[in-house]
Amino acid sequence: MNRAKVAASDHRNSHHWSLATTENTSRHASTSERVPGRPVASADHGAAIDSFSVKILVTGGAGFIGSNFVRRTLEDAYPGLEGAEVVVYDALTYSGNPANLASVAGSSRFTFVQADIRDAGALDDVLPGIDAVVHFAAESHVDRSVRDSGIFVETNVLGTQRLLDASLRAGIERFVHVSTDEVYGSIAEGSWDETRALEPNSPYSASKAGSDLLARSYFRTHGMNLSITRCSNNYGPYHFPEKVIPLFVTNLIDGLHVPLYGTGENIRDWLHVDDHTRGIAMVLTRGRAGETYNIGGGTELTNRELTEKLLDATGRDWSYVDKVDDRKGHDLRYSVDIGKIQSELGYAPLVPFDRGLADVVQWYRDNRSWWEPLKARAAL
Ligand code: NAD
């Protein structure tokens, strides 16, 4: 594999990242306690950070959710991360897109590195001088994992292991592993809290569960200052048009049919990407080491109900919907209990679904030049 291609400013300038005491932090360490190649925080420490001049490596930062986190961080949208520098580390697979970062590419606080998380040498080149890692990079589309699971294991499991190892070697002080509620499986009633056993049903969610367990082991074994987030289904701008909302919106805008799996009774909890990344920033700055935090949006809809809303928003009717064979192993319902992140970190979803969806439909109407080439690329 190729070594990292580094663009924009040199990411190795030295900056401070210090662990600070907050209500959620029982102890703190200063950068002077840091031993090269060893993590600073140990098992039960709080993870709160002091924001000035921190340098954050964002894997998968050219994707849908990672790029939102990067844009919002560089807009200083997150308390505790004002002034942070961001290094995006992304292999630019089919779903990675530099256009997602166009609005911040000129920032002196932004650096882009094109490299693969499976490439230990490239990671060793880039990680020195980084204070925190937020790990989004993954193969993320369930349908693709049903067709071919190999790359999911390579990227999501092996890639995460390489990244964790390299972070350990570099003495990274804070690590957030971004995961999914799909690791819990499917739940007919009630909601999962973070202590639920993992029962993933698709190769995608199984590979994410594997990466979650590896991440947890680096906290338990090596004392890495690491937290895990598990979110529900995201929607928002810059969403690759193979996922249900952007696929349906872009097809319906163009008067094309949309495929609805099975009876359409599967239920998903929808989370605006702005709410998701705000929750991640809270976990990064104030979450406890070794802990997992669910992040949800609080809007459960069947796929039929979602389709109805999208038909309404685009002025189409049910004649545009083709019933297709159900996805193999299709999970019936996901539902996360977000009580922990609410009570510990004060998180609540802020974007009402109907407003968020209307904005997204408008965004796709206004940004055809962004999504048209992607639909061709995904061979939809
Ligand atoms: P995405 O597919 O839009 O982006 C993934 C990014 O990772 C891309 O930029 C891609 O180029 C990069 N990448 C892939 N393989 C890589 C590799 N080997 N090395 C370096 N970079 C690589 O995905 P997303 O929807 O933004 O999801 C981001 C994270 O959030 C993933 O970990 C996913 O499992 C998780 N998640 C997503 C959702 C959702 O609704 N989209 C829900 C729950 C969790």
Could you tell me the distance, in angstroms and rounded to a whole number, from the CA of residue 31 to the centre of ligand 1?
31
Let me know whether 106 and 55 are in one domain. yes
pLDDT in tens, 288-338: 999 999 999 999 999 999 999 999 999 999 999 999 887 888 888 999 999
pLDDT in tens, 191-235: 999 999 999 999 999 999 999 999 999 999 999 999 999 999 999
Let me know whether 59 and 193 are in one domain. yes
Check residue 377 and give its pLDDT: 76
Let me know whether 289 and 252 are in one domain. no
Closest ligand 1 atom to Cα of 239: 3
Which residues have CB under 8 Å from 36's CB, separation 6+?
171
Let me know whether 163 and 305 are in one domain. no
Find the DSSP H helices in 92-173: 120-126, 142-147, 150-152, 160-170
Let me know whether 84 and 30 are in one domain. yes
204 is catalytic: yes
Is position 237 within any domain?
no
pLDDT in tens, 137-179: 999 999 899 999 999 999 999 999 999 999 999 999 999 999 9
Could you tell me the distance, in angstroms and rounded to a whole number, from the CA of residue 27 to the centre of ligand 1?
33
Let me know whether 218 and 360 are in one domain. no
Check residue 298 and give its pLDDT: 92
305 is catalytic: no
Could you tell me the distance, in angstroms and rounded to a whole number, from the CA of residue 136 to the centre of ligand 1?
5
* Residue 31 pLDDT class (50, 70, 90 cuts): very low
Closest ligand 1 atom to Cα of 208: 34
Q: Which of 182, 275, 291, 331 is catalytic?
A: 182
- According to DSSP, the β-strands at 132-135 and 174-180 are parallel
Let me know whether 277 and 306 are in one domain. no
> By alpha-carbon position, which residue is closest to atom 17 of ligand 1?
116
Nearest-angstrom CA–CA distance, 202 and 194: 19
Let me know whether 261 and 362 are in one domain. yes
> What CATH number did the domain enclosing 69 receive?
3.40.50.720
Closest ligand 1 atom to Cα of 135: 32
- How many C-beta neighbours within 10 Å does residue 164 have? 26
pLDDT in tens, 329-345: 888 899 999 999 999 99
Would you say residue 30 has pLDDT above 70?
Answer: no
Check residue 156 and give its pLDDT: 98
Let me know whether 199 and 255 are in one domain. no
Could you tell me the distance, in angstroms and rounded to a whole number, from the CA of residue 156 to the centre of ligand 1?
9
Mean pLDDT over residues 103-109, rounded? 97
Please state the domain count of the chain: 2
Let me know whether 101 and 207 are in one domain. yes
- Burial (Cβ within 10 Å: 0-12, 13-18, ≥19) of residue 87: buried
Check residue 48 and give its pLDDT: 53
> What CATH number did the domain enclosing 361 receive?
3.90.25.10
Domain carrying residue 352: 244-267+299-332+346-378
Choose among 338, 331, 359: nearest CA to 146: 331
344 is catalytic: no
- Average pLDDT over the chain, rounded to an integer: 88
Let me know whether 183 and 320 are in one domain. no
Let me know whether 360 and 276 are in one domain. no
Would you say residue 42 has pLDDT above 70?
Answer: no
* Residue 126 pLDDT class (50, 70, 90 cuts): very high
